[in-house]
Amino acid sequence: MIIAVDFDGTIVEHAYPRIGNEIPFAIDTLKRLQKEGHRIILWTVREGRLLEDAVEYCRQRGLEFYAANKDFPEEKENGKGYSRKLKADLFIDDRNIGGLPDWGVIYRMAHDNLTYEQALDGTPPPSARARKNIFTRIGEAWDNSRKHH
């Protein structure tokens, strides 16, 4: 999965143009997702020296981004096919409708390929659901529908 993540208000508290305090578990969660094979792209309003400072802040804490403000490291701003809109599977940003979820919820969403609602309500990951046979799943669905009527 390609994951685009904002910096100010998402990895660190808002203090722009300074770097705020780290939001608990942000960098650890991103490093864990990266170890699982996800590509992490820094997607921020920061440019120039301010962008370099953010990248270095994360690098010092063990988080290396696949790219920053672009789809891949070699991409040139004025190059053929360049677009400021990233091609990502998941965007993590404090400006989401409803704000920034807890980093534990974010991890479950990315790791288990769940929606926000599924991550909140404890839905098992797709691999766990697939292991149940069809009759077990039908029975569980029937039981759940009876509880709600």
Banded pLDDT at 133 (limits 50, 70, 90): low
User: Is the bond preceding 17 in cis, omega lying within 30 degrees of 0?
Assistant: yes
Report which of 40, 90, 94 is spatially closest to residue 62, judged by C-alpha positions: 40
Q: Higher model confidence: residue 114 or residue 66?
A: 66
Report which of 44, 32, 48 is spatially closest to residue 8, judged by C-alpha positions: 44
Give mean pLDDT, residues 51-74: 91
**Residue 43: other Cβ atoms inside 10 A:** 23
Question: Average model confidence (pLDDT) for the chain?
Answer: 84
Q: Higher model confidence: residue 36 or residue 141?
A: 36
Q: Which two tokens stand for residue 91?
A: 């965007």
Helix (H) or strand (E) holding 26: helix 26-35
pLDDT at 12: 98
Give all domains of the chain, ordered by start, each with its CATH number. Answer: 2-113 (3.40.50.1000)
pLDDT at 87: 84
User: Is the bond preceding 125 in cis, omega lying within 30 degrees of 0?
Assistant: no
pLDDT at position 48 over 60 = yes
